[in-house]
Amino acid sequence: MSTHDKLAGCGVSRRDMLRIGAGGVGFSVFGGIGPVPAVFGRASEATAASTSGKILVVFEWFGGNDGLNTIVPYGDSMYYKHRPTIGIREKDVLKIDAHFGWQKSMGGMKRMYDEGKVAIVQGVGYAQPSFSHFTSMSFWHTGAPNGGNEYGWIGRTATALDPAGARPNMIVNVSDSQSLAVKAENHVPLVFLDPTKFQRAAFAQERAALDLLDAQTAPLGAAHAYAVEVTRSAAQASEVVRLAWSKYKGKDNVDLRLLDLDKVAALIEADFPTKLYYVPLRNSLFDTHVNQAAPHDRQLEYCSDAISGFFQEMKRIGRADDVVMYVHSEFGRRVPENTSLGTDHGTAQVNFVIGNAVKGGMYGAPPSLTDLVLDGNLENTTDFRQVYATLIEEWMGADAARVLGRKFETLKMFRA
Amino acid sequence: MTGRVGWSPGPAHWKDDLTPIAAADWSYDRAAHLLAHAGFGGAPAEIEALAGAGPDGAVRALVHYERIPNPKLQPFVESGLWDPSLNPFPESRPEATDRALATGASMGVERKPAGKRPLQPVSDRFFYWLRATMLETRRLGYWWAGRMLQTTHPLEEKMALLWHGHFATHENKVRDYRKMLQQIALFEKAATGNIRDLAIRVAQNPAMLYFLDAQYNVKGAANENFAREVMELFTMGVGNYSEKDVREGARAFTGWYFDDLSFKIDAAKHDDGPKTFLGRSGNFDGVDALKIIFEQPVTAEYLAGKIYRFLVRDDLSQELKKKLGAILRDSGYELKPLLTAIFSSKDFYSQASYGAHIRGPVEHTVAMMKHLGVDTMPGVPDFNQATIAMGQHLLNPPSVAGWAGGTAWITPGLLIARGNVARDVLIPDITGFRDWNFSAGSDDVLGRRLRDGYDIGAATAVNDPANMTAFDRAALERDEKFNTRISGYIGWEQAARKLIPTPRHAAQFDLTKMVLESGAASAGEAVDYLLWRMVRVPTATATREGFVAFLTNELGTDTLERAKSYMEDALRMVVHLIMSTPEYQIV
- Among all residues of chain B, which has the CA nearest to that of A174? B413
How near does any CA of chain A get to the CA of B55, in Å? 25
- Chain A contacts of B354, Cβ < 8 Å? 220-221
pLDDT on residue B467 = 64
Instruction: Give chain A's mean pLDDT.
Output: 86
- Among all residues of chain A, which has the CA nearest to that of B470? A294
Please tell me the least confidently modeled range out of A164-168, B10-14, B263-267. Answer: A164-168
Q: A182 pLDDT exceeds 80?
A: yes
- Among all residues of chain A, which has the CA nearest to that of B553? A205
Instruction: Give chain B's mean pLDDT.
Output: 94
How near does any CA of chain B get to the CA of A224, in Å? 7
- Chain A contacts of B483, Cβ < 8 Å? 290
Q: Across the interface, do A148 and B399 touch by the CB < 8 Å criterion? A: yes
- Chain B contacts of A192, Cβ < 8 Å? 412-413
Phi/psi of residue A220, each to 5°?
-100, 80
Q: Across the interface, do A138 and B481 touch by the CB < 8 Å criterion? A: no
pLDDT on residue A119 = 98
The answer to whether B60 touches B92, Cβ cutoff 8 Å, is: no
| Peptide bond connecting B381 to the previous residue in cis, omega within 30 degrees of 0 | yes
- Chain A contacts of B478, Cβ < 8 Å? 291, 341
The answer to whether B200 touches B164, Cβ cutoff 8 Å, is: no
- The size of chain A, in residues, is 416
- Among all residues of chain A, which has the CA nearest to that of B229? A147
The answer to whether B138 touches B379, Cβ cutoff 8 Å, is: no
Q: A331 pLDDT exceeds 70?
A: yes
The answer to whether B494 touches B362, Cβ cutoff 8 Å, is: no
**DSSP-assigned states of every residue in A93-140:** SEESSSS-EE-TT-HHHHHHHHTT-EEEEEEEE-SS----HHHHHHHH
The answer to whether A367 touches A67, Cβ cutoff 8 Å, is: no
- Chain B contacts of A290, Cβ < 8 Å? 480, 483-485
Residue A374 touches chain B, beta carbons under 8 Å: no
pLDDT on residue B287 = 97
> C-alpha angle B210/B215/B219, rounded to 5°?
150
Residue A141 touches chain B, beta carbons under 8 Å: yes
Q: Across the interface, do B462 and A199 touch by the CB < 8 Å criterion? A: no
Encode pLDDT of B187-246 as tens digits.
999 999 999 999 999 999 999 999 888 888 889 877 777 888 899 889 998 779 987 898
Give the DSSP H or E segment for A352: strand A349-354
- Among all residues of chain B, which has the CA nearest to that of A232? B412
Cβ count within 10 A of residue B316? 16
Q: B513 pLDDT exceeds 60?
A: yes
Q: Across the interface, do B413 and A148 touch by the CB < 8 Å criterion? A: no
How near does any CA of chain A get to the CA of B192, in Å? 25
Phi/psi of residue A373, each to 5°?
-125, 165
Q: Per-residue confidence at A72, pLDDT binned at 50, 70, 90?
A: very high
Q: Across the interface, do B582 and A283 touch by the CB < 8 Å criterion? A: no
**Alpha-carbon radius of gyration of chain A:** 22
Interface A–B counts its CB contacts (< 8 A) at 195
Q: A26 pLDDT exceeds 80?
A: no
- Chain A contacts of B462, Cβ < 8 Å? 294-295, 298
pLDDT on residue B207 = 96
Give A 294-323 residues with CB within 8 A of chain B: 294-295, 298
Q: Please state the domain extents for chain A.
A: 51-404
Phi/psi of residue B499, each to 5°?
-65, 130
Query: Residue B281 forms beta bridges with which residues?
Result: B276
Q: What is the assigned CATH class of domain A51-404?
A: alpha beta
Give the residue with greater pLDDT, B441 vs A384. A384
